[in-house]
Amino acid sequence: MAAAILITGANRGLGFEFASQYLADGWRVFAACRNPDAASKLRCLAQDMLNVVAMDVTDAESVRNATTQLKDVAIDVLINSAGLPARCSRPGATAGPGRASPNACQMPKV
């Protein structure tokens, strides 16, 4: 039986890339996202080994519903990719010069 992976935030970004690569490697992929109906990139991957699951990781009821849906599934690996790219909110932080990401930041030298 194929190994199974649950990936949150799987509709775009890193989560989507993990989903497509694990599918390509023959895994059964449970791709969780907040709004499966709007997950057009995931739908393009549609194949037997892909199951799209609704899950907002900040909503306990949504997580409970997803776990109920998956209660009979043995998940081998979890990639919790749901989240926002890091933004630096620490006092005194400044945008990092020369960094590739607009979200990158650095603390001033002391």
Ligand X SMILES: NC(=O)c1ccc[n+]([C@@H]2O[C@H](COP(=O)([O-])OP(=O)(O)OC[C@H]3O[C@@H](n4cnc5c(N)ncnc54)[C@H](OP(=O)(O)O)[C@@H]3O)[C@@H](O)[C@H]2O)c1
Give whichever of 1 and 44 is closer to ligand X, judged by the CB atom: 44
* Cβ 62 to ligand X shortest distance, Å: 8
* Cβ 55 to ligand X shortest distance, Å: 6
Instruction: Give the ranges where the chain is alpha helix by DSSP (H).
Output: 13-24, 40-45, 60-69
Report how far residue 52's alpha carbon sits from residue 31's, in angstroms, rounded to the nearest whole number: 5
* Cβ 74 to ligand X shortest distance, Å: 22
State the residues that interact with ligand X by CB under 6 A. Answer: 8-9, 11-15, 33-35, 56-58, 81-86
Side-chain-facing half-sphere of 61: CA atoms under 13 Å: 0
Q: Which residue has the CB atom at the shortest distance from ligand X?
A: 13
Give whichever of 15 and 20 is closer to ligand X, judged by the CB atom: 15
- With 0-12 CB in 10 A as exposed, 13-18 as middle and 19+ as buried, what is 46? exposed
